[in-house]
Amino acid sequence: MRVSTTLYYRGALSSCNYDCPYCPFSKTTDSRETLAKDKAQLERFVSWVREQGADGRRLSLFFNPYGEALVHRWYREALTELSHLEHVDKVAIQTNLSVKLDWTNGLNKEKAAFWVTYHPGQTSEASFLAQCAQLYDKGISFSVGSVGIKSYLEPIRSLRRTLPQDVYLWVNAYKDQPAYYSPEEKAAFREIDPYFEWNARDYDSMGKPCATGSRVFFVTGSGLVKRCYKDRRVIGNLYRDGLERLSAERPCRMKTCGCYIGYVHMPELSMESIYGKGILERVPGADARYVAKEASPCGF
């Protein structure tokens, strides 16, 4: 029986072409040396993934960099190659979708996916929607979302009205300030994203079962492997140990879990019943697909 494993990958990249005030990634500029290191790390990771097909292991891959990766050619090339590997079931990336998208013509559209984040104030709604329209017209799976800053409510509402009905728009709850939302504000964001409340809370997770560490891993550019990105404990090295030696049942060591890419792997929450095969790119399954009440029936 073929084993399926999900890997979240984050290399040395730590810069972005946007300067969102709430985001730490926008405060750095990578040196040539750092970019060269990031490129070499990614090439090594892709080479490792390429070799796994001989062992019968199936992989799903998600790139969640500290910054915007698609402005760099090596990420675009990596996504393209990986999407065509037989033993890779899915390859997805978190992106602000600010780059030209002609390169996506080379993707295997059955396997490539995008987690797209909208940043009001960094780009216009019209420009952002034009980018989304390209993915939509090409039949590439993607979700759209934004951080739930209260001042973003109207821009996010406007985006929801204009996006096609079958494009899910998620809202990440802003948790840097306690009791940030009033009940009315929570309700307003829930009208946009019916799963907003799932993200607005933190889950008690200490000692509870989680797929991370057994069939889901967080991999750094150097190959160090952790159970998840929040847990700092290093459990091994991907290139030295391999997945067979790294895989083990590992209950959560954190008091709480409040990030989608973490709690979505807690079996007690049954998130796979909502997202199904779209769990990486955060796209609900067909039976759970959100249809916005105010969405334009004409889409784009």
Distance CA 180, CA 153 (A): 13
pLDDT reported for residue 3: 63
Whether 78 and 46 have beta carbons less than 8 Å apart is answered as yes
- Reading the block at residue 160, the tokens are 């929801």
Going by pLDDT thresholds of 50, 70 and 90, the confidence category of residue 288 is very low
Q: Please indicate, yes or no, if residue 126 is contained in any of the structural domains.
A: yes
pLDDT of residue 19: 67
Give domain status of residue 163, yes or no.
yes
In a domain, 244, yes or no: no
Is residue 15 very low, low, confident or very high in pLDDT (cuts 50, 70, 90)? Answer: confident
Dist CA 68 CA 27 (whole Å): 12
Closest by Cα among 174, 173, 165, 98 to 300: 165
Give pTM, 2 decimals: 0.92
The better pLDDT of the pair 76, 285 is held by 76
In a domain, 162, yes or no: yes
Predicted confidence (pLDDT) at residue 294 exceeds the cutoff of 60: no
Residue type, 155: P
Buried b (16+ CB within 10 A) or exposed e, 199-208: bbeebebeee
- In tens, the pLDDT along 48-78 reads 999 998 878 899 999 999 889 999 999 999 9
Report yes or no on 156 lying in a domain. Answer: yes
- What average pLDDT does range 95-114 have in this prediction? 96
Q: Is residue 57 part of a domain?
A: no
Indicate whether 58 belongs to any domain. no
Position 131 in a domain: yes
The larger pLDDT score, comparing residue 32 to residue 17, is at 32
Element (H, E) at 26: none
Number of domains in the chain: 1
Tokens of 84: 């065509």
CB 109 within 8 A of CB 78: no
Nearest C-alpha neighbor of 136 from the set 167, 104, 112, 170: 167
Contact 235, 52 (CB under 8 A): no
Mean pLDDT across the stretch 239-261? 95
From residue 57, give the alpha-carbon distance in Å to each of 14, 79, 244, 281: 30, 19, 10, 21
Residue 26 has pLDDT above 60, yes or no: no
* Top-confidence residue, 28 or 136: 136
Range of the domain at 135: 118-201+258-300
- Average pLDDT (280-287) is 82
